[in-house]
Amino acid sequence: MSDMASIRAVIASTERTKKITSAMQLVASSKMAKSQRSMSSARPYADTISKLMQKVAESYEGLHPFFEKRSSKKTVYIVISSDRGLCGGLNVVLFKNLIKVIKETKQENICAIGNKAKHFFRRIGGNVLAEATHLGDQPSKKSIDQVIKPALDGFLAGEFDEVHLVYNKYVNVMTQEPTITKLLPIEKVSQEKTNWDYIYEPDAKSIIDKFVYKYIDSVVYKAILENIACEQAARMIAMKSATDNAQTVIDELNLAYNKARQTVITTELSEIIAGADAV
């Protein structure tokens, strides 16, 4: 009977866990739909401004320091992670890819966005220049500017030669792609200069001086929204897997309980029959 009681206790505990993971799956599914809409709204602007800046780099490579290519490779990484866990290996895979690059380049300058990145690089070490956590589903420009400012200021001062953006790119619900992309210097796509250009008013320099910061803000903002969408998708899948596993455990425990119960019944019947025969 003690075995049956312990099995019943484990079944009840697993049922409670299943209810929690099922609820978290539904919440993540709802949040994922919202984050997908935000990401889809930000993508066209960020992609268009990126193409525009790459076009500008063809003709005005020396007009702003953000276009300047440098020979040495002192690098700073803007790392975007989730604030909470329970989203599978989303953050772990991203950090593993970054650690591999850091070991190759010997550069460990970090601007951490997200609680997981903050604690990870505090634990393993690294030169953490700035931190920002709990920015929410719609981060403000001010909060983004504060965390990336040391990277931009360092680039302008010559302390860093490259700024890289590290985040999870949303492909679909089942696929989140760890991405490390160069943010600065802004590079032209084609090595050959095209025979057309934009018309600038009042002049190219004053426009580009303001435009490069809008480009950086929009690209980082889009990356944060993509990472949020990845987080919710990964959490939904992880919680669905946990719910399914809990149900499998419950089924196995129910089978074990029924077998134990059948054994007890059979034993009692045998004892009754043996007692009747003795009489």
Q: Is the pLDDT at 207 greater than 50, yes or no?
A: yes
Domains defined along the chain, listed by start:
19-237 (3.40.1380.10)
> What pLDDT sits at residue 1?
46
DSSP-derived letter for residue 88 is: T
Tens of pLDDT, residue by residue over 94-117, are 999 999 999 888 888 999 999 999
More confident residue, 149 or 193: 149
Q: Are strands 162-172 and 175-184 parallel, antiparallel or unpaired?
A: antiparallel
Inter-residue contact 222 to 43 (CB < 8 Å)? yes
Percent of the chain with pLDDT over 70: 92
Token output for 112: 């951490």
Tens of pLDDT, residue by residue over 154-204, are 999 889 999 999 999 998 888 899 999 999 888 877 655 666 666 777 777
**pTM of the model as a whole:** 0.85
Q: Is the pLDDT at 21 greater than 50, yes or no?
A: yes
Strands (E), the chain: 75-80, 109-113, 127-132, 162-172, 175-184
CA–CA separation, 27 and 17 (whole Å): 15
Q: Is the pLDDT at 10 greater than 50, yes or no?
A: yes
Q: Which residues contact 230 (CB under 8 A, 6 or more apart)?
A: 90, 168, 169, 170, 176
27-47 average pLDDT score: 90
DSSP string of 213-271, one letter each residue: HHHHHHHHHHHHHHHHHHHHHHHHHHHHHHHHHHHHHHHHHHHHHHHHHHHHHHHHHHH
Q: Is the pLDDT at 248 greater than 50, yes or no?
A: yes
**Picking from 58-62, 73-77, 166-170, 236-240, which range would have the lowest pLDDT averaged per residue?**
58-62
Q: Which residues contact 176 (CB under 8 A, 6 or more apart)?
A: 90, 168, 169, 170, 230, 233, 234
> What pLDDT sits at residue 163?
93
Q: Reduce the DSSP state of residue 56 to 3 states and report it.
A: helix
